[in-house]
Amino acid sequence: MNANKIGYLGPRGTFTEAALEGLLEGQSDSVETIAYPTVVAVLDAVRSGEVGRGVVPIENSLEGPVTTTLDALARHDDPLVIIGEYALPVRFALLVRPGTELAAIEKLATMPIAAAQCRQWLDQNIPNVQIIAASSTASAAKKLGENPDCDYEAAISPEVAAKHYGLDVLASGIGDDSDASTRFVLVSRPVKPPTRTGADKTTLMLFMREDHSGALLEILTELAVRGVNLTRIESRPTRKQLGDYYFSIDAEGHVDDARVAQALTGLRRVCSEVRYLGSYPRHDGKESSVAHGASDTDFEAADAWIAAIRERGSGRS
């Protein structure tokens, strides 16, 4: 039984591993964590049942969406759902084998997104360094620490990876923006959504019917009229042709909220396809604002009223 196995973007020492620990905090069940080399490999392991859940990065406060993750969740025929999220401050360190000096670094390895976030420090300190693309920040550190044939002299990585792989921290806090953070999501095969908390978020992929101008306004109106706020929207390519998009969105609230459920049914009626990607507690615990008339109680009262009208021509009790 693999329900207690959790895959993550490894190897040990990645920000993703730290996020995984944050996501599990307070849970009493023992879990086994398994590192995978790529985001796609993590999601495939969840799909196949090799692991029960997976943790992958989905958004960075500087660079925006991790499109690999967005697209891998959206496009596969076998959908997954998000059941939790976690935001982690991102601090980068420059790791080297013990004894290496800055002047000796000709090549360094890291994820491209991490290199981009350390651009200023690199330009000022080792402007001519060659960047080698690694599939994760920790994998760059791991190879440097464990593989004698490694052909680069440094890795940009979370500081914690130094300890795992026997490396020295030559510089820390080298990111351009000290407030940077990354959001990670916990995914599983489709399951009953986690209990709503009042501070939830729902993620959707929306595909438009063809030749339908004003479609986006229509979508937003379906949400607004039920008092559901949008927190993020992205045109993502459908991969058919340039300029053909679907929308990736996050909305406030949980599918168990009446207002969200009714907004979703509205979207389903006007879109060609709505893919539900999960309702889950927000990382920041910020409660959804509920507009006048948009609480569950309001929806129930209105439903009872209409039922009475249909039965006896009057909604009075």
Smallest separation, CB 144 to a second copy (Å): 14
Alpha-carbon dihedral 174, 84, 275, 51, rounded to 10 degrees: 90
User: Please, which residue, 163 or 232, has the CB nearer to a second copy?
Assistant: 232
User: Please, which residue, 101 or 311, has the CB nearer to a second copy?
Assistant: 311
Distances (CA, A) of 152 to 149, 218, 233: 9, 52, 39
Smallest separation, CB 161 to a second copy (Å): 19
User: Please, which residue, 5 or 183, has the CB nearer to a second copy?
Assistant: 183
Smallest separation, CB 225 to a second copy (Å): 5
Distance of alpha carbon 310 from alpha carbon 170, whole angstroms = 74
Smallest separation, CB 275 to a second copy (Å): 9
Distance of alpha carbon 10 from alpha carbon 55, whole angstroms = 10
Alpha-carbon dihedral 223, 227, 228, 234, rounded to 10 degrees: 50
Distance of alpha carbon 107 from alpha carbon 154, whole angstroms = 7
User: Please, which residue, 197 or 229, has the CB nearer to a second copy?
Assistant: 229
User: Please, which residue, 164 or 183, has the CB nearer to a second copy?
Assistant: 183
Sheet of 107-110: strands edge to edge? 130-133, 107-110, 154-157, 93-96, 168-172
Smallest separation, CB 285 to a second copy (Å): 12
